[in-house]
Amino acid sequence: MAIQFKKSMQRVWQFIKKAFIIMFVSSLLYLVVCKWVMPPITITQISNTFGYGLKRDFISYDAMGYNIKLAAIASEDQLFADHNGFDWDAIEKSFKPRKTKKNKKSKIPLGGGASTISQQTAKNIFLWQGGGVIRKIPEFYFTQMIEWVWGKQRILEIYLNSIEMGPGIFGVEAAAQNYFHKPAKKLTRSEAAMIIACLPNPKIFTVVPMSNRVSWRYAQIVHQMALIEDDEDLMAIIK
């Protein structure tokens, strides 16, 4: 009996190892392919399809225009050009009690969170929403890999093509057309900031009709956009 149990456990362990290897290799291949091909769909998009439908329109990096890229970085990750995927200072501060300070001209993520654009992209493309610590482990792996394989411009391109910007609305082109009836490249600074201001919860922080949070937050983003335009490293990514 003990021998049979041992053999059964060995078979289970072999199966787990094979499954892990297959998932690891397939995810790595998928990641490499996505350096040139847009991810066809994400778990978040699938989960939204049943309740809200799916509006999206993939566009190239150049077709996005200047303002929406600048707004995204100004709001979500002002250290985007400097880090290797993780803002360790912000992560450390996230474990400490928050203190209220006057707004200064400094590279501080306006959203106040520790999740970089690279981390958000890794989560949106390869993983799922929620999940806590269990999701953080593969998120760390995918974040580091896309930093190495994709590079900053590709990360920002996929991020802006894939994030949810309204109920069932994914990507900047779909958002621009839905809210302002124009392509993303023609968004004004204020319009781009309004779209980005709906993050991180676009189902509650709505652009049209404009929620209270979006109405005050987008003005802050516009202000931050002006402050970071003297950063040559960020401008090299955006332009």
Question: Per the structure block, which two tokens stand in for 157?
Answer: 């391109």
* Residue 211 DSSP symbol: P
In b/e form, how buried is each residue of 98-128, taking b as 16+ CB within 10 angstroms?
Answer: eeeeeeeeebbbbbebbbbbbbbbbbbbbbe
Find out whether 172 and 165 touch, Cβ atoms under 8 Å: yes
Residue 229 has pLDDT above 90, yes or no: yes
Residue 27 has pLDDT above 60, yes or no: yes
The pLDDT value recorded for residue 114 is 66
The alpha carbon of residue 47 and the mean position of all alpha carbons in its chain are separated, in whole angstroms, by 17
Residue 141 has pLDDT above 50, yes or no: yes
Residues constituting the chain: 239
Q: What is the pTM of this model?
A: 0.85
Residue 133 has pLDDT above 90, yes or no: no
- CA distances from residue 128 to 71, 83, 94, 112, 157 in whole angstroms, order as listed: 25, 23, 21, 21, 19
Question: Per the structure block, which two tokens stand in for 34?
Answer: 């996505």
Tell me the pLDDT band of 112, cut-offs 50, 70 and 90: very low
> Count H helices, E strands: the chain?
12, 2
**What percent of the chain is predicted at pLDDT more than 90?**
67
The pLDDT value recorded for residue 86 is 87
